Amino acid sequence: MVNRASLDKRPDEVATMFDDVAPKYDVVNDVLSMGQTRRWRKVVVEAVGVTAGQRVLDLAAGTGTSSEPYADAGINVIACDFSLGMLKVGKRRRPDIDFIAGDATRLPFADNTFDASTISFGLRNVNEPKKALAEMLRVTKPGGRLVIAEFSQPVVPLWRTMYTEYLMRALPAIAVKVSSNPDAYVYLAESIRAWPDQDHLAAWLQEAGWESVTYRNLSGGIVAVHRAQKPAGPATDPAAGAAALANHTGPVAKLRRNITRPGR
C-alpha cells in the first residue's frame, strides 16, 4: 500500500495517496492552514470572475470544495481530478456537481471548451506541470482566463524561515493527530518546499502560450494566485466537447463513468 507519494510524482502513487486521505481531506486542510484555506479559495473565485451560464473547468478539484461556489452561483462547473477516492467523496456530498476523472496532462475535453480554467493547490502534484499548463490552454476558449492558486515562497526572509520550519517540523506533527495518513503530509511539506517561486511559475505560463500573466501574493507569499489569459483566436464547435468526453479512453475514463453521467 502506498502511504505517500515521492517527489517523482508518479500519477498512480499520487492518486492512491489522495484516495487514502479523501474522507478527512477538507477538515485536515482547514486545521493545517489555520483556517486560511477558505479565504484563499474566495480570492480564486473572484479572480476567475465568471458569471452565470459560463463554463468553468476546476482542475484538481478533489472533493469539490473549490467547485461549490461556482455551482452555487449558477455557473456550469466541471470538477476534474484523477483521484477516484476524492471524487467519490465529493459526489456524495454534492450530487448536483459534475465530477469527472481525468489526467491534467491529457484532459478529456475538446479544444476551446471552457470560459475559464482554474486549479487550486494541485499543479505541484502533477508530474509534468508544464504539460498541464498547455492542456489547460488548449481546452480554454480564446480570450478565456486561467487562475492558479498554489503554495509559493514567502517574500520576507524571516517569514520564509519561520514558514519552512512550520512545514518541516510542525505540520507533520499536527498531521499525526488529525489525519488518517500523516505520511501524506510529509509529502505535502516536501512538495511545497521543492516548488518553484512566483516568478518561475509566471515564466512557465508565458512559455505555455498564456498572456497577460500576473500574480498576487497571499499570506505574505505562502500562497500565490496567478492569473493569465488565452490569446484571442478562432473557436471550435462547442459540441465537440461532449464528443471528446464520450470517446475518451483509458483506465481513468472507464472508472469515471462510475462517478458522473457523460456529457452535459
Q: What total of structural domains would you count in the chain?
A: 1
| 49 φ/ψ sector (left φ>0, alpha ψ -120 to 50, else beta) | left
At 211, the pLDDT band (50, 70, 90 cuts) reads very high
> Which tens digits make up the pLDDT trace of 6-41?
444 555 666 666 565 555 555 555 555 556 777 888
Within a domain: 120 = yes
Within a domain: 202 = yes
Whether 244 and 73 have beta carbons less than 8 Å apart is answered as no
Return the higher-pLDDT residue of 130 and 40.
130
**CATH number of the domain to which 244 belongs:** 3.40.50.150
Within a domain: 147 = yes
Cα gap 46→107, rounded to integer Å = 25
At 125, the pLDDT band (50, 70, 90 cuts) reads confident
- Which three cell numbers, joined as nine digits, stand for 10? 508518479
- Picking from 133, 110, 4, the residue whose alpha carbon sits closest to that of residue 60 is 133
Within a domain: 149 = yes
Within a domain: 262 = no
Within a domain: 3 = no
Structural domain for 130, as ranges: 11-256
Predicted structure pTM score: 0.76
So what's the pLDDT on residue 98? 96
Whether 52 and 44 have beta carbons less than 8 Å apart is answered as no
